[in-house]
Structure 1
Amino acid sequence: MSSPGYRPTPAAASQLNLRGAVDLSTLRRPASPPASPPAAPPGGTAAAPPATDDAGTAPLRVDANESNFQDLVQLSAQIPVLFLLWSRYAPESPAVLDAVERVVLTYGGRLVLAAADVDAFPQLAQAFQVDAVPTAVAVIKGQPVPLFQGPADDAQIGSLMEELLKVAAANGVTGTIGDGGPAQDAGPAPLPPLHQAAIDAIEAGDYAAAAAAYKQALLDQPADADAKAGLAQVELMARLESLSARAAESLRELAATEPDNLEAQLGVADLDVSGGHIEDAFNRIISFIGRNFGPERDTARIRLLELFEVVGSSDERVAKARHGLARVLF
């Protein structure tokens, strides 16, 4: 059985982007979610106190804030997390927040509600590209899933939750919070030794050692998809580590003036992926492959396949790019 995937997740709300931004720095932390979502800290927003499930064992509603946002996003690898962005200045917010909480509580711990007061946590509205509240956005495996904006009743919300749970199940996110659920387990299963060694190396900032651990894991088990994805992500992190903002700007200028400069095109593609401009990155490399032949073309193709691993093979943009790659290759 494979270990939990190491898809990048945002380290702060300002780094979450609906275009699929990839915050590579969060690979410094294991992708395993906490056993239960964190409760709001003392002194949190009084208008949105945390709630508990019927058994009183685990919170099914928490206040999203800067201190627990990362944990909530990590939790989304186990359970869909529904962010409800609201404001006391938006008259519809209280009713929608109450309705969403009622619906979430009926699912017996299969969903977690994160109530986000945009007045107290404005970065989240910017990160989700929200221009009005209330707005509901779910997160599954660190990826945002827009749901609705404005008023909604219990029936409408319930219908959306059914669809959301189908999407979650298709992505292997089927955990629960409460009696009999993962919240009462001793904890997440330990990572395989080489995967743990890679995570430890990332924590220490030693990307070369992390890459070596993932490569050894692939030698031992060539079909280890998590090691393959982890290796691609770590190698991208290493390439970006020493690139300053000024160097990045110069690289973009070079790529614009020299469209057949392989290193410039690949470098800008790395920047685009790390900044969430996934389709731009893929199209840049595919266009290069379509214009060039020989060793450089194959180098570009291999890099594109590595970036597919970084984004995730189930992402629809990867599927679209695969078709584009096939068209220019054949």
Structure 2
Amino acid sequence: MGLNLDEQKAVDRFRKTVAEPSMTQLVVLDFWAEWCGPCKALTPVLEKVTAEYADKGVLLAKVNVDEEQFIASQFQVRSIPTVYAIFQGQPVADLTNARTESQLKQMLDQLLEKLPVQPEGAAPQQDIAPLIAMGEEALAANDGERAASIFMQILEMVPDNAEVLSGLIRGLVVAGRLEEAGQVLGGLTPEVAADPHLERARTALELAKDKPEDSELATLKAAAASRPEDMEAQLAYANAAFAAGERDAAAGALLAMVAADREWNEGAARAKLLQIFEAVGLEDPWVSATRRKLSTVLFG
């Protein structure tokens, strides 16, 4: 590479302290020197903010330009302090002008929204993907207890992961543990609760709240069977059947309603089916099959 021994050592130090950690974390790289007054003023700000953001995957690394002249020259540092954000070995932002806590936090928040940064020690997303798929398979098989157990174990690896939390809540719903599902959903931070993955869980919990007693379900089923023209009776039975875990029966009732009068109550039957699809998951084989049935009813 044409480097002398000292330069090779400098590159090795940089690789270990900056490049390698930046593969998963966001490294705030501060170029400074002992004689630099502005550097001394900025250092407490950088240390405080990066410490607060450590659990979000932010790490502070410092390069003394007097001791690491070769590294500073590679970054073409012309004045100090110079501060870069490094991710996956590359500078992704110049943070030099962020001299206050609020300015630095604002810039870090913007970067963290765009980059797949992971806290130190967190399992990489690709490592948990097969486990998430396993949990989704359990949900597709209507095995809520197993799904909840799988997602709970994944959650220990990646706390506050919205996709995993969604799976856990849906697993608890399918298992009939609605109070626990509500507690998990209610205990989320505003940031996690706003994630689109949680909409699916929220819908599943909302639909499950209609779960009737066995005797009530039987009564609703009998009423729907005896009055096929009564749309209110059909919808009440469909709601109860899905909440009770009988999604085939619920879909059958709703499809029959769409076939009979798709415009009834502003398309309530079709809207309920779409809500059920969202709760179960658009990629679920059952949803795909039921959507084809709906298309046949709507378009022949």
TM-score w.r.t. the length of structure 1 is 0.38
- Which has more radius of gyration? 2
Q: Name which structure has the greater RCO, CA cutoff 8 Å, separation 6+.
A: 1
TM-score w.r.t. the length of structure 2 is 0.41
Give 1 or 2: higher helix fraction.
Answer: 2
